[in-house]
Amino acid sequence: MELQMLQILPSPRKIIKTLTALFVGVGFVFIGNSLVLTSAGVMLSDMGVENFYIGIITACFFIGAILSSIFTYKFISTYGYIRSYAIFTALFAISALLHVLGDNVIYWVFLRIMLGFSYYSIVMVAESWINTRSRNEIRSRVLSFYSTIYYMAFGIGVIILSFKLTPVKIFIVSIFFIIVGSIPMNIIKIKEPKLPPKKKLFIPNVFNLVPLALVTSFSAGILINGFFAMSGLFIIASGGSIADASFFLFAAMVGGFLSQIFFGNFSDRFGRKYAIILSSSIALIASILMYIFMGNMLIMKLLAFLLGFGIFCLYALAAARANDVLSEQDSRVEVGASILLSFSIGSILGPISMGLLMQIFGSSGFVFIYFTFTSFLIIFSIFKETVPKKYRTEYLSTGPSEVLD
């Protein structure tokens, strides 16, 4: 009977084939997002904005992400997946386009919130669609394919930045990719899943979440999105060029992609606690070496690979840790929302704290954040229990919005 059931279930390859238009579309959107997200710090610096205020402005992108988590689910429930995707990609392109009309910092704050809201709404539509169409038995493999697209697309975006484009050209190119990303969903016949039921909004009680998962997700928000927002500025302040900043980001993305594969297997075998300790230790060593070799761009790019390898898996490890200790299925939504909330708070505080320390200590302030939070995470994890292997759930290469589904 089980064999017959497995034969009836669609394979990962079939699911991926049916979702080709979605994967192609979001791939182009990811390229556009990498351009507008990672270039902001350098652009604002060229406009004469101080590092602390650069951190505040770039952090507004993640305020938009929080607003998306509040309003987008209801929007999808009302208008459907395809129309929601079309509307949010249009809003994303408009938000990018409006940047070329002014350089007032208050104006940019508003636009970064719009960008964050529209981008995370697109991601929520895509990941909710994937989760709805994928059964539990194959979901991890479909999401792994989706994560591969994300890392490849983001890498393409940061390579484009190495061509030394002007700010106007960067936004034009990003808008091109965003608009192209909206086309496949509108010209290819694709059956969208049933509309998700409307749910009442609730504010999760984050203190009910297991401490290690909560602290890890919060730290991941600071370290990952602080990196995206401020690493380009860090490399420029360290004496590098735009091309150096681009390849620094690319190296980190390659490390992040490989870390999902390594730590997925490692954490399933040895536990999330030891995976968090190991990944944080790698990031700590990389940041110490960055401080020592600051200014040597070749070594910095190699160390970016190690840093990305250490930090980009932290969010997925936090989600896996939380799921490992859940006693009731009904608490998954609240736990997922709590992780998202802590990650989002960290994402807002990361660029701000990096901007403040870079304002005070120069480029070294960027590295000090990694010293502090990786060291704290290692110490905090050591004193937490290990979940026995029989109680561990499957590791998924999850992104921040996937926990909402």
Q: Please tell me what DSSP assigns to residue 239.
A: T
Verify that 126 and 104 share a domain, yes or no. yes
Domain boundary, last residue among 129, 161, 189: 189
- pLDDT band of 138, cuts 50, 70, 90: low
Predicted local confidence at residue 349, as pLDDT: 94
**pTM value > 0.95:** no
Domain contains 213: yes
Domain contains 4: no
Domain contains 40: yes
Q: Enumerate the H helices of 327-363 as residue ranges.
A: 332-361
Dist CA 326 CA 340 (whole Å): 16
Verify that 247 and 360 share a domain, yes or no. yes
Verify that 53 and 22 share a domain, yes or no. yes
Dist CA 352 CA 292 (whole Å): 24
Q: To 10 degrees, what angle do helices 226-237 and 297-311 make?
A: 170
Q: Which two tokens stand for residue 404?
A: 């909402």
Domain contains 394: yes
Q: Enumerate the H helices of 183-225 as residue ranges.
A: 184-187, 211-220
Domain boundary, last residue among 189, 214, 233: 189
Verify that 225 and 183 share a domain, yes or no. no
Domain boundary, last residue among 168, 189, 210: 189
190: region left, alpha or beta (phi > 0 left; psi from -120 to 50 alpha): beta
Verify that 172 and 235 share a domain, yes or no. no
Q: 139 with 396: CB under 8 angstroms?
A: yes
CB proximity list for 315: less than 8 A, separation 6 or greater = 216, 217, 220, 221, 224, 343, 398, 399, 400
Domain contains 125: yes
Q: Please tell me what DSSP assigns to residue 206.
A: G
Domain of residue 206 covers 202-405
Verify that 109 and 228 share a domain, yes or no. no
Q: Which two tokens stand for residue 316?
A: 């997925």
Dist CA 193 CA 190 (whole Å): 10
Verify that 152 and 207 share a domain, yes or no. no
Dist CA 222 CA 345 (whole Å): 8
Over 80: is that where the pLDDT of 384 sits? Answer: no
Verify that 109 and 221 share a domain, yes or no. no
What is the signed CA dihedral for 212, 213, 214, 219, rounded to 10 degrees? 90
Q: Which two tokens stand for residue 201?
A: 């909004």
Question: How many domains would you assign to the chain?
Answer: 2
Verify that 283 and 395 share a domain, yes or no. yes
Least confident piece of the model among 21-35, 184-198, 227-241, 263-277: 184-198
Which residue in the block uniquely carries the two structure tokens 């070799």? 293
User: In this predicted model, what pLDDT tens digit does every residue of 108-130 receive, in sequence order?
Assistant: 999 999 999 999 999 888 887 87
374-399 mean pLDDT: 72
Verify that 299 and 213 share a domain, yes or no. yes
Q: Write the CATH number for 327.
A: 1.20.1250.20
User: In this predicted model, what pLDDT tens digit does every residue of 251-280 receive, in sequence order?
Assistant: 999 999 999 888 878 887 888 889 999 999
Domain contains 44: yes
202 φ/ψ angles, rounded to the nearest 5 degrees? -140, 155
Dist CA 139 CA 128 (whole Å): 12
Domain contains 18: yes
Q: Which DSSP string do the residues of 69-136 spell out, in sequence order?
A: HHHHHHHHHHH-HHHHHHHHHHHHHHHHHGGGG---HHHHHHHHHHHHHHHHHHHHHHHHHHHHHS-H
Considering Cα of 340, then 343, then 347, then 353, what sign does the dihedral take? Answer: positive
Q: How far is CA 214 from the centre of its chain?
A: 17
Verify that 19 and 139 share a domain, yes or no. yes
Verify that 159 and 213 share a domain, yes or no. no
User: In this predicted model, what pLDDT tens digit does every residue of 184-206 receive, in sequence order?
Assistant: 887 776 666 666 665 554 444 54
Domain contains 8: no
Give how far Cα 261 sits from Cα of 147, 265, 317, 385, Å: 11, 7, 12, 24
- pLDDT band of 395, cuts 50, 70, 90: low
